[in-house]
């Protein structure tokens, strides 16, 4: 029981604390916007680089991880679009359902896997992030580009390649292949990484919108079931079919079971999506994940 409490209470406790701080102590939007940029551009990349630098790529079933994760993401993206169309939503709302149906909150993934499985869990979390982020960025960028009536391949490629998380993944894999970070830089990157989880989860909690529960409740509920139940089940099916077992499979499915990213709201607002619906989906998925994530971890540990 204690390992479960140590894994889930800090993660969801920080979400709740962020929500309280946003409404009681730090009410200025600029404060949270600055912290979000700090996490996205500096702290989280530091965590990814430091974790990937410790991975022994030669012993990692990387190909099977990629197939399992990308397969689940592809199914999630396709079902999200079909769900939005079945509910009669236009393109703007469809992009919110899409983001809610297959994007993920890597910060809670890092927090939970690191608490449950230690340094190896953190390293595999970085691998999962490195596999997921390029796929998610490509699909969401294309989806929003279609809404504007024209897809410009060069602009899409530039946006993907300049994503700081993708750059961190490339650097991290390269450093791992070269034998790890040199003395001094390793501890620096690890310190930045430790700060990213706590500060990032506070920002996630602050971004949740409690006023949006009644906004298209059926869409919220169905998108949540797709993201928190169907997509991780599909990922588990891919792992079993590919013979991917052990901790790599557990971490891959846990990441697929995460609620959608809070940055999805920022993307929806900036690129012409349905921002109110995105805020509603983000909030309800994080609340539902308080129940679904521990259940998924229990199932995975029992199978493992």
The pLDDT value given to residue 233 = 98
Helix (H, G, I), strand (E, B) or coil at 60: coil
Q: Which residues contact 201 (CB under 8 A, 6 or more apart)?
A: 11, 14, 15, 18, 107, 108, 111
Share of the chain above pLDDT 90, in %: 46
Q: Check residue 82 and give its pLDDT.
A: 97
Q: Which residue has the higher pLDDT, 5 or 179?
A: 179
C-alpha angle 84-230-266 in degrees, rounded to nearest 5: 55
Q: How confident is the model at residue 242 (pLDDT cuts 50, 70, 90)?
A: very high
Provide φ and ψ at 151, rounded to 5°. -105, 120
pTM recorded for the entire structure: 0.90
Quick one: tokens of 22? 């946003």
Domains for the chain: give ranges and CATH numbers: 2-303 (1.20.1530.20)
Q: What is the pLDDT of residue 230?
A: 98
pLDDT at 236 over 90: yes
Taking residues 14-32, what's their average pLDDT?
A: 90
215 vs 290, more confident: 290
Task: Please say whether the beta carbons of 175 and 181 come within 8 A.
Answer: yes
Structure tokens at 245: 């077992």
Q: CA 221, 223, 229 angle in degrees (round to 5)? A: 90
Cα 132 from Cα 107, distance rounded (Å) = 13
Q: What is the pLDDT of residues 55-85, one digit of tens each?
A: 887 888 999 999 999 999 999 999 999 999 9
Share of the chain above pLDDT 70, in %: 96
Burial class (CB in 10 A: 0-12, 13-18, 19+), 91: middle
Chain centroid, CA 20 distance in Å: 23
Higher-pLDDT residue of 153, 264? 264
Q: Is 261 left (phi over 0), alpha (psi -120 to 50) or beta?
A: beta
User: Over the stretch 108-130, which tens digit does the pLDDT of each residue have?
Assistant: 999 999 999 998 999 999 999 98
Q: How confident is the model at residue 1 (pLDDT cuts 50, 70, 90)?
A: low
Terminal C-alpha separation, the chain: 18
**What is the predicted pLDDT for the residue at 254?**
97
Alpha-carbon torsion, ordered 220, 81, 92, 232, to 10 deg: 50
Which of 31-45, 68-82, 196-210 shows the highest mean pLDDT? Answer: 68-82
- 53 touches 176 (CB < 8 A): yes
Categorize the per-residue pLDDT at 201 as very low, low, confident or very high, splitting at 50, 70 and 90: confident
For residues 80 and 98, the answer to whether their CB atoms sit within 8 Å is: yes
Average pLDDT, the chain: 88
């Amino acid at each position: 029981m204690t390992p479960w409490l140590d894994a889930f209470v800090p993660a969801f406790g920080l979400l709740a604390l962020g929500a309280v701080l946003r409404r009681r102590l730090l009410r200025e939007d600029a404060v949270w916007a600055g912290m979000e940029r700090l996490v996205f551009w500096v702290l989280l990349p530091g965590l990814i680089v430091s974790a990937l630098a410790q991975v022994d790529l030669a012993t990692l079933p990387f190909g099977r991880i990629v197939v399992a994760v990308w397969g689940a993401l592809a199914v999630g993206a396709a079902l999200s679009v079909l769900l939005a169309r079945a509910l009669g939503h236009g393109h703007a709302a469809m992009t919110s359902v899409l983001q809610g149906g297959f994007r993920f909150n890597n910060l809670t993934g890092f927090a939970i896997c690191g608490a449950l499985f230690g340094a190896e869990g953190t390293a595999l979390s970085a691998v999962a992030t490195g596999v997921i982020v390029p796929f998610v960025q490509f699909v969401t960028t294309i989806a929003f580009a279609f809404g504007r009536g024209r897809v410009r391949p060069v602009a899409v490629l530039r946006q993907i390649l300049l994503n700081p998380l993708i750059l961190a993944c490339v650097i991290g894999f390269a450093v791992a292949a070269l034998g790890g970070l040199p003395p001094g830089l390793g501890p620096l990157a690890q310190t930045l990484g430790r700060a990213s989880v706590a500060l990032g989860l506070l920002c996630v909690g602050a971004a949740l919108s409690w006023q949006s529960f009644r906004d298209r409740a059926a869409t919220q509920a169905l998108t949540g079931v797709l993201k928190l139940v169907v997509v991780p089940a599909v990922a588990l099916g891919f792992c079993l079919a590919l013979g991917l077992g052990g901790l790599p499979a557990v971490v891959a499915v846990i990441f697929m079971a995460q609620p959608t990213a809070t940055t999805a709201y920022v993307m929806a607002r900036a690129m012409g999506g349905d921002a109110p619906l995105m805020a509603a989906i983000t909030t309800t998925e994080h609340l539902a994940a308080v129940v679904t994530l521990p259940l998924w971890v229990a199932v995975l540990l029992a199978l493992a």
